[in-house]
Amino acid sequence: MSELEWQKSSFSGGPEGNCVNVATTPDGTIRLRESDEPRTVLATTPKGLAALLQHLRPRPSS
């Protein structure tokens, strides 16, 4: 696999300096990793990532 171009996620920015990095492979697979554990990489599809983000998004309180 060619070298991926990792980008810092807009969801990052905690006081510890740790962040989530995101990259897309030529076949459209999305890769995710944490800056403090760059060797551990998760792979997902755009649809899978969208479902995860929807699940994690805060819901308005009633």
Q: What is the pTM of this model?
A: 0.73
What is the band of 13 on the pLDDT scale with cuts at 50, 70, 90? low
41 CB-side CA count, 13 A:
13
Q: What is the mean pLDDT of residues 37-44?
A: 94
DSSP state of 2: P
Percent of the chain with pLDDT over 90: 52
Residue 61 inside a domain? The answer is no
Q: What is the largest CA-CA distance in the chain?
A: 48
State the residue range of the domain holding 20: 7-54
Quote the number of domains for the chain: 1
Query: What pLDDT, on a 0 to 100 scale, did the predictor assign at position 6?
Result: 93
Residue 49 inside a domain? The answer is yes
Residue 62 inside a domain? The answer is no
Residue 26 inside a domain? The answer is yes
Buried b (16+ CB within 10 A) or exposed e, 24-48: eeeeeebbbbeeeeeeeeeeeeeee
Type of residue numbered 19: C
Type of residue numbered 32: L
Residue 1 inside a domain? The answer is no
Residue 24 inside a domain? The answer is yes
